[in-house]
Structure 1
């Protein structure tokens, strides 16, 4: 959708500015926080130390509130399948703010002649019911949104992102300081991550039009400041080491190859983007690597990699343990290294699987008398980031430094051994997840975390364990962490979901290991996912090895199957389901709420 501060076109920035300014035509109602209820949806840690996604609902009456909860669940279910949200889900708290509205729905939905409704956030289509507005531009009263978001304790401007859902089945959304999306449209759950790309990631639209159906013209401005738009050739990017030069030539996560594709920031010519159709151009595909790197940086910047540590404000004795508590991504482990006077030393309790430990027992180092400098460096080694400047930024690298004085004697203290935090235990974890368990911190010892898998002792890290290395058999397993007399347990969902396809009647079926279906005209495809645990299964498909595409039904009806035709079907000036004559391969797969993904299966179709 549209975003504030778009490079290259005055009209685009002006259109987005109506998010705040163009609501004069919408009835006002003072925001009343007493009306609202904050509902924790996902809590991974103290909100003061997490990235908090605060989701507001507008136009939902008390009777509509179950619909808001259903809409929110659908949005989150898709969000957790999209990288980097999938790998960094453990960084994110989600809070719903349920705001009862006196009227059902939002203003100017779907047309300018539709009612102007009095709702808490004053959400409205048509850029705020403007005669010169954009129908799909769904705006709100930002001041009211802030008032309600402020109800979430511990969340602040620095560590939160506001997303507002409108009680509407009409396609629409917007991205600026805050993000908006319609709640109930077939594609609504894909609008939200696109708008978060704007609001959280600072990404620009890759559309080659401003008004759908009207070519965008030729860009004649200077080099865009957008990280994913350029005037440079591929050779110039490589030579000058600019823009997405580090990713050139690689298979794009959104299909095709990372390269140089003409069109973007609302122009059809004269400016180029990295991928043929990433999420910032076509809803349904993933972020490509360029956008994913930025989103990884922005999510990580909302938290501190080092969540807690031995105090650094005064010299410490050489007779104690130094420790750090870090974040724990869902998909991989962080790297922790220790140095004493600039020389690497091994942590007291090295983690399994190549990761360093989070504790250093100074008494075992037998330091020479005097003062020494000890540093712990925490780095996120994710493959989503290649830019050294991003890797070395505070979002992905943090250092803690202590002065150690051998003349300082540490009081013994009395810290009981217990867990201090962990991966939430109320929902199953996936078979490839990283599960963590932090402990209390006695000053002269390191509590040992013992891991058990299905009742059998297994080797893990000192504070986390990567389940993927066990190659668990399909089914349900039990993981237990023990420290002292305390224990915490998790259910592991290692059973991937199932997904089936259903096609309309073919003119001919050619059975075999990979079945083939022959059609003499348009045909439909329905994907149906199922799982042995509660939650919605997200299905995907791709055609001829292109990017994986979210199966959401049909753009105008989530319950309808996908329609393939030779020339595609035009809906609101966009073409869906185009499949030329000839033989094609369609692959399909599904993901469950624990993050398990089925092995892709395929079939052939011939359109003649």
Structure 2
């Protein structure tokens, strides 16, 4: 999750860009940096005397972000920090050479700022950006190498910003909305839902050239929350691209993210951060003669909590949707016992029945019992990405499971009345092809198991 490789590269490049250490201020801290998404704001065009304004601007953005869905529900998954990078002059460059407006929109200027940001990038007036990436990443490497997403706040009242490896925004009109929109690009891989021009779109969570309602990537949302297939334009290349909504934040500032974009954001959050913050026991710290033995999960819970969990002991269900359990002596067999808890997010903002990828998280404790008591308890945490595609399918289902430890995997195909129709062993990190050609048309369940423990149940349609 963290950018340690980039940190090493920046250190190797230290002769090219001098290392400088600046003050870092915490704006929002929800937990350990290694277990949260770290948003890091960099000041640009702020003189040292203006750092209090920078912190005010950074705090305003953070407060605004976490009042909007889905960030308000997943606020505890984020930390926010601000690095006070001084510039010699206030503001940013304005060459006044944009070709999409009549210049000068405001007075031309060339200013001495740290990252050398500028309006009029690539001929677009409001495109506020810098290509001086070496300085950006050097500052991050030397001041906050655990960053997940850098954001450059530019001390200018003029409207402008950009997405990219680092998001950039001015601090004037609609500044907070600009930053949140640009984060949609930079961190969550969302596309603009206004037409950005020929050649500037590609397939993404919220953009597609597919027009078949049964195949479109947001098919699970069709007809809900005004989600449909809306062309970007009426002619030319714009007419070949489709968006899911008519008034999403990725099209208009001041609006909410549409349901498709919200789901995409949550999916990215789950790909970056496990909801399992910690667990106990983490090692063999249990008194070997003391029963019952307590096991505990510390979860990063959405607001309201939508996490579900299932506890199994030796592949038999033991408890559901609790954070703590106790194991009595007569619950265990002599020898090796496996206790596993599987956690997933059941948020109504996720419609995973027809969604390609499911994120599942688990902890497994191996408990060794002898006549003298508990000889050993070892633990292992694992995260799984489980993909099933295409859906619907005619003859072949592709199933891919990605997990750090997944030695014994299988998938059972189940009818909706609960009958197991076929069972197939599958391999970790491989594209497993499941032949469903003999099934009748209709809806089925694909139950994925690890060591006879159910990881997930996904619906699919056989055409």
Question: TM over 0.5, yes or no?
Answer: yes
1:321 to 276, 285, 294: 294
Q: Distance in 2 between matches of 1:32 and 1:109?
A: 29
The answer to whether the Cα contact below 8 Å between 1:312 and 1:401 also exists between their aligned partners in 2 is no
The answer to whether the Cα contact below 8 Å between 1:315 and 1:402 also exists between their aligned partners in 2 is no
User: Per-residue deviation at 1:311?
Assistant: 6.0
User: Per-residue deviation at 1:346?
Assistant: 2.6
Structure 1 residues 102, 176: CA separation in 2 closer, same or farther (over 3 Å shift)? same
Name the counterpart of 1:259. Answer: 228
Name the counterpart of 2:188. Answer: 201
Cα distance per residue 1:138-189 (max 9 Å; x no partner): 1122222222223455724xxx111111011111111111111111x21111
Name the counterpart of 2:223. Answer: 249
**Pairs within 5 Å for 1:211-230:** 224-230=202-208
The answer to whether the Cα contact below 8 Å between 2:352 and 2:358 also exists between their aligned partners in 1 is no
The answer to whether the Cα contact below 8 Å between 1:205 and 1:280 also exists between their aligned partners in 2 is yes
Cα distance per residue 1:455-488 (max 9 Å; x no partner): xxxxxxxxxxxxxxxxxxxxxxxxxxxxxxxxxx
**Pairs within 5 Å for 1:226-375:** 226-233=204-211, 236-238=212-214, 240=215, 242-251=216-225, 257-263=226-232, 268-310=238-280, 319=291, 320-346=293-319, 356-363=321-328, 365-375=330-340
User: Per-residue deviation at 1:55?
Assistant: 0.6
The answer to whether the Cα contact below 8 Å between 2:62 and 2:80 also exists between their aligned partners in 1 is no
Most deviating of 273-282 and 68-77:
68-77
Structure 1 residues 286, 389: CA separation in 2 closer, same or farther (over 3 Å shift)? same
Q: Distance in 2 between matches of 1:364 and 1:286?
A: 53
The answer to whether the Cα contact below 8 Å between 1:370 and 1:406 also exists between their aligned partners in 2 is yes
User: Per-residue deviation at 1:334?
Assistant: 1.9
User: Per-residue deviation at 1:400?
Assistant: 1.2
The answer to whether the Cα contact below 8 Å between 2:27 and 2:58 also exists between their aligned partners in 1 is no
1:73 to 59, 63, 82: 59
The answer to whether the Cα contact below 8 Å between 2:296 and 2:323 also exists between their aligned partners in 1 is yes
Q: Distance in 1 between matches of 2:90 and 2:331?
A: 70
User: Per-residue deviation at 1:133?
Assistant: 2.1
2:28 to 19, 26, 42: 42
The answer to whether the Cα contact below 8 Å between 2:161 and 2:178 also exists between their aligned partners in 1 is yes
Name the counterpart of 1:84. Answer: 70
The 3-state SS of whatever aligns with 1:338 is strand
The 3-state SS of whatever aligns with 2:39 is strand
Q: Distance in 2 between matches of 1:258 and 1:191?
A: 23
2:124 to 134, 139, 142: 134
The answer to whether the Cα contact below 8 Å between 1:278 and 1:286 also exists between their aligned partners in 2 is yes
Q: Distance in 2 between matches of 1:199 and 1:260?
A: 24
1:53 to 28, 36, 39: 39
Q: Distance in 2 between matches of 1:391 and 1:328?
A: 23
Structure 1 residues 96, 205: CA separation in 2 closer, same or farther (over 3 Å shift)? same
RMSD: 3.1
Name the counterpart of 2:436. Answer: none
The answer to whether the Cα contact below 8 Å between 2:27 and 2:59 also exists between their aligned partners in 1 is no
Q: Which runs of 5+ in 1 are unaligned?
A: 1-28, 211-215, 252-256, 348-355, 413-608
Cα distance per residue 1:439-460 (max 9 Å; x no partner): xxxxxxxxxxxxxxxxxxxxxx
Name the counterpart of 1:490. Answer: none
2:164 to 149, 171, 176: 176
Structure 1 residues 123, 390: CA separation in 2 closer, same or farther (over 3 Å shift)? farther
Q: Distance in 1 between matches of 2:141 and 2:50?
A: 23
What TM-score do the two structures reach when normalised by structure 2? 0.68
The 3-state SS of whatever aligns with 1:246 is helix
Q: Which runs of 5+ in 2 are unaligned?
A: 1-15, 99-106, 377-463
Q: Distance in 2 between matches of 1:41 and 1:403?
A: 40
User: Per-residue deviation at 1:387?
Assistant: 2.6
Q: Distance in 2 between matches of 1:31 and 1:114?
A: 30
The answer to whether the Cα contact below 8 Å between 2:47 and 2:90 also exists between their aligned partners in 1 is yes
The answer to whether the Cα contact below 8 Å between 1:375 and 1:400 also exists between their aligned partners in 2 is yes
The answer to whether the Cα contact below 8 Å between 1:209 and 1:267 also exists between their aligned partners in 2 is no
User: Per-residue deviation at 1:98?
Assistant: 1.0
Q: Distance in 2 between matches of 1:322 and 1:73?
A: 38
User: Per-residue deviation at 1:391?
Assistant: 8.8
Name the counterpart of 1:166. Answer: 154
The answer to whether the Cα contact below 8 Å between 2:189 and 2:205 also exists between their aligned partners in 1 is no
Structure 1 residues 143, 305: CA separation in 2 closer, same or farther (over 3 Å shift)? same
**Pairs within 5 Å for 1:5-154:** 32-34=19-21, 36-108=22-94, 114-127=108-121, 132-140=122-130, 141-152=132-143
User: Per-residue deviation at 1:365?
Assistant: 4.9
Structure 1 residues 301, 341: CA separation in 2 closer, same or farther (over 3 Å shift)? same
Structure 1 residues 96, 110: CA separation in 2 closer, same or farther (over 3 Å shift)? farther
